[in-house]
Structure 1
Amino acid sequence: MDDNKTVKQITSNKGSWKRFGYVLSHARLPWIWIVVVLIVSLAATKLELLLPQYTSNLLNGDTSAHMIKLALFSAGALFVVTFASNLVQGIGEVSITRNLRSVVWKRILGTKPSGFGDTQPGEIISRVTTDTEVIGLFIIKILYVMIPSIYFAVSVIITLYGINHTMLYWMLACIPFSVAATVVWGRYNFSVQVKVYERISNLTHYLSDRITKMPLIKSYGTEEEEVAKGEEPIEGMYKARVEAQKVMCAGNIAFNVIMGYIPNVILMLLGASLIGKGQLSFGDWVMFFMYTSRMTASISVVIFEWADIKGTQGAIMRVSGIMMNPSEFDETYPEKGAPEGDIELRDLQFSYGTKEIFENLTMTIKEGKKTVLVGGSGSGKTTLLKLLERFYDVGDGQILFNGKDINTYDIAATRKAISYISQDAPMLGDTVREAVTYGVGRTVTDEEIVQALEAASAWDFVQKMPAGIDSSIGDYGCRLSGGQRQKIALTRGLLRNSRYVLLDESTSSMDACSALNVQKAIDNYIQGRTCIMISNNVSIVMEADEVIVLKDGGVEAVGDHESLLRDSATYREFCSQGRECQL
């Protein structure tokens, strides 16, 4: 899918300003805080412009009480306003970052799994945490640093031109050299910052992957091996950071020499000459010196921050890629109700990249019946369930509910009508209650929870837990066995009361007889609903109303157990290798 490109690594900064505009217009920014930050920053800048003038007047002999009061008041006001400016800047930055993170997180949740391509979870986490903070700081820099600095520099240039334009011209002559240095430095800084981000993503991905697999690491005694492996991303991040610091140091030196040391030398030598000739008063020279020092600092800040934009462009490109990704929340659908009826697949084609899964797949899954999908590894059984859940868009062909295309139904209503219980039984929630009611979307009574636990054969072990349904199951259900996790997941699926139930090897962690007993209990609980199953348990498959055998991208055979034993070689092989309950 082309959409996958929007979340991959960005190595080019083309179109970044257009993307930055997109981020600003869609990020629900706290505009009140932004206006407050800008006003307070400009107020502090205005006070900074007054102090050199008052200082010059005092040095030129105006020591009246009024002038002294103005100078002291301006100094005090500048202190207060600067404090307020720093405060609103900090609050503004965290407010911008908070809102941007909320928008990006919602966008991620609205992106189909296919939209992430090969992007690793650690990279996506970095975009929500690190990149949004970089962009928030960048926006604040524009408001708090760049705009006030430009305002200050322009005001000073106008003022100094009226004092002595010759000295001003010498000062401004340094700017083109600084800009040229900035362009060269900025381009290199962009490539360095991209490298730093890549190293951060690598380290985040490595750590998140290993932490979730800590029991496996300990059980196989590979701690020392993982310590050694961890050194590579840690060292890679260290080297990238060192290179970034070298680039930053080189930039600082260049700016300090061009916009700091050289202007000061010019100011002292030329100023002393003009004072000696009587063309410049000492007070005006001090004011010129104060203004020039601050002006060159302002220009340096603008140039330096402009160069730093190169480092921000990568974050802008990555975050905008997520925000510009098509979102399920933005789509509209002709059919507002939930799907119902038979499920029909017509000439369905689907592939993962170049790997073809279905080619002209045609079948019908009857409403209110239990249908089992059978096929070899890679035949598309799980893919078919994911297509029904609309995790992926179909290629050519159609999936129809009661004769209506699946894409015409509201995607949220479609998923609400389906309970999908996968083999890995993912868990969210710290307690049994939280785990089984997650995503149910309604208030569930204790009685309903117990009934569903009983139907999934989970009540026997849950009632023995210290706090029953309020007992902790640990992060991701780590305190439960594989079979217990699957029973909890089944309970959650049953509580949704969905019209369609998709069971993807949902009893694979149980022994064959336990799985059969659980399946029979579930069948009674979901009687009258449409159930689509994937199972390697022959005893469960034999109980199905219909079995569909998938092979080579299509349907090899459809029927019941007896007819398929006669007509399908794939089914006979499945029965010879599958699990079976031996009573």
Structure 2
Amino acid sequence: MERVFGKDRGSMGSFFRMLQKARLPYLWILAYIAITALLTNVGISVTEYTAELFAGNVNFGTVVLPFLAFTLLSQLISSVSKIMSNLCVARIDRNIRKMIWSKTVRLPLRYYEKNKPKEMISRITTDITAISQLIMQVFVAILTSAYTLVITLGKIGSYDQKLMIALIAVLPLNLVIAFVMGKMKFGVLDLVNQKNAELTQTIAEKTNNLLLIKSYGKEEKELQTGQEKMKGFYKSSILNAWLGFATPMYALVGAMQFIVIVMVGRSFYSSGALTLTQWIAYYGFAVNIVNQLSAYCVYWTTFKGSQGATRRVAQIMEEMEEDIENGEHVEHLCGDIELREVDFSYEDKLLFDKLNLKIPAGRVTALIG
């Protein structure tokens, strides 16, 4: 439980330093943001023409035809936006994986003395996917949603400034729930990813050494080891599944917001501050704003849920690399190998102290113990 509800120690500073090295497809991301902004403006027109239709205005030239045209245009832009989003995610995944793989082969041996090398499989696969989702489904989505909120609130304000202020006042009802669930989501998903990495490492290691395991008669021991890792991953997955109870809470808050929105709009319509068309359009815009706010709650939980993955990858990028280009280039090696005054230790445990050793050419020399 401490792992789930404990203090969040993720470092966003190291995360953004990592992104600077990743060469993100910024032009593609900017193109996606521009297309999404265009989609928002077209959606405003669709909502207004929809309100005209619900209000009983069915003039073909001024309402029906523009409604059909803007609806078709909205669907086309939406399809292009989804394609652009998928392309951005694919390019982000590719660039970050290349960066992590390059870092992996340059890490010194002492890093792999403290960390199991085969856990890197999960870092390069599962954790990288979480990072691309964080970029596109949180950071970029916040920008596009903020633009949509500003444009939509501005449209409602053009009907009546008091109506816009009243709507803003009833919106933040589900922020507290989102904060609590986000905190829980971070801890649970961090635990799930860690258990998945441990399981991946164990299965990869044991399957590569099955002949050795069977030759030593260790089948039962390794069977138990694998089952323990599977059990740990299963328990963390079950804990993650229980978070599904957050959905009814969000639904309840959404229903409360719906009631308040209808009551506020009806009072303005009854007083004559809004026409019937504006009242219907207000309702459509208000629902859109509530959906945007709900999306912010999802962004928060996604952000917290992916912090574990971003932290682990960022920590790898913070590690010191070996300079593989250091030293003199030799075309052909020949002759004896001689070590002079060599010190070697495992952290604080000294193994060699001023070792002098000559390994003759053409001979096999082993250091045992």
Contact 2:107 2:321 in 1 (8 A): yes
Which consecutive unaligned segments of at least 5 residues does structure 1 have?
A: 1-10, 372-500, 502-522, 524-530, 537-550, 552-583
Residue 294 (structure 1) aligns with = 288
**Change over 3 Å in CA distance of 1:169–1:185 after alignment to 2:** same
**Change over 3 Å in CA distance of 1:196–1:73 after alignment to 2:** same
The question of 1:363 aligning with 2:356 is answered yes
The one-letter amino acid of 2:148's match is F
Contact 1:200 1:237 in 2 (8 A): yes
CA deviation vs aligned residue, 1:379-421 (integer Å, no higher than 9, x gap)? xxxxxxxxxxxxxxxxxxxxxxxxxxxxxxxxxxxxxxxxxxx
Separation of aligned partners in 2, 1:122 and 1:89: 31
Give the structure with the higher percent helix: 2
C-alpha displacement of 1:106:
0.7
The question of 1:158 aligning with 2:178 is answered no
Residue 52 (structure 1) aligns with = 47
Separation of aligned partners in 2, 1:157 and 1:337: 66
User: What's the RMSD between the two structures over aligned residues?
Assistant: 2.9
SS of residue in 1 equivalent to 2:167: helix
C-alpha displacement of 1:114:
1.0
Higher relative contact order (CA 8 A, sep 6+): 2
C-alpha displacement of 1:135:
0.3
Separation of aligned partners in 2, 1:219 and 1:37: 57
The question of 1:119 aligning with 2:112 is answered no
Contact 2:93 2:129 in 1 (8 A): yes
| The one of 287, 304, 316 aligned to 2:310 | 316
C-alpha displacement of 1:231:
3.0
The one-letter amino acid of 1:299's match is L
CA deviation vs aligned residue, 1:260-288 (integer Å, no higher than 9, x gap)? 21121012223333333333222111111
The question of 1:270 aligning with 2:264 is answered yes
C-alpha displacement of 1:225:
6.0
The question of 1:534 aligning with 2:347 is answered no
Moved more, 45-54 or 266-275: 266-275
Separation of aligned partners in 2, 1:44 and 1:200: 39
Aligned residues: 360
Separation of aligned partners in 2, 1:344 and 1:212: 34
Residue 326 (structure 1) aligns with = 320
| The one of 17, 24, 30 aligned to 1:35 | 30
Contact 2:89 2:136 in 1 (8 A): yes
Contact 1:49 1:152 in 2 (8 A): no
Separation of aligned partners in 2, 1:137 and 1:121: 25
Structure 1 segment 367-406 matched on structure 2, within 5 A = 370-371=359-360
Structure 1 segment 78-477 matched on structure 2, within 5 A = 78-142=74-138, 145-219=141-215, 226-247=222-243, 249-258=244-253, 260-329=254-323, 333=326, 337-338=329-330, 343=338, 345-346=340-341, 348-359=342-353, 361=354, 363=356, 365=358, 370-371=359-360
With normalisation by structure 1, the TM-score equals: 0.56
Give the structure with the higher percent strand: 1
Separation of aligned partners in 2, 1:30 and 1:12: 33
Separation of aligned partners in 2, 1:175 and 1:277: 23
Separation of aligned partners in 1, 2:231 and 2:151: 48
The one-letter amino acid of 1:69's match is L
Please say which structure displays the higher CA radius of gyration.
1
**Change over 3 Å in CA distance of 1:231–1:167 after alignment to 2:** farther
The question of 1:76 aligning with 2:60 is answered no
SS of residue in 1 equivalent to 2:290: helix
The one-letter amino acid of 1:198's match is Q
Separation of aligned partners in 1, 2:45 and 2:328: 64
**Change over 3 Å in CA distance of 1:323–1:127 after alignment to 2:** same
Separation of aligned partners in 2, 1:534 and 1:203: 34
Residue 3 (structure 2) aligns with = none
C-alpha displacement of 1:43:
2.2
The one-letter amino acid of 1:92's match is C
Which consecutive unaligned segments of at least 5 residues does structure 2 have?
A: 1-5
Contact 1:37 1:143 in 2 (8 A): no
CA deviation vs aligned residue, 1:357-379 (integer Å, no higher than 9, x gap)? 123x15374xxxx54xxxxxxxx
Structure 1 segment 563-578 matched on structure 2, within 5 A = none
C-alpha displacement of 1:51:
1.3
Separation of aligned partners in 2, 1:45 and 1:112: 50
**Change over 3 Å in CA distance of 1:223–1:352 after alignment to 2:** closer
**Change over 3 Å in CA distance of 1:356–1:229 after alignment to 2:** closer
SS of residue in 2 equivalent to 1:29: coil
Contact 1:38 1:143 in 2 (8 A): no
Separation of aligned partners in 1, 2:170 and 2:205: 51
Contact 1:350 1:356 in 2 (8 A): yes
Residue 566 (structure 1) aligns with = none
The one-letter amino acid of 1:277's match is S
Separation of aligned partners in 2, 1:241 and 1:165: 48
Separation of aligned partners in 2, 1:162 and 1:37: 28
Separation of aligned partners in 1, 2:74 and 2:147: 17
Separation of aligned partners in 2, 1:253 and 1:31: 38
Amino-acid identity (%): 22
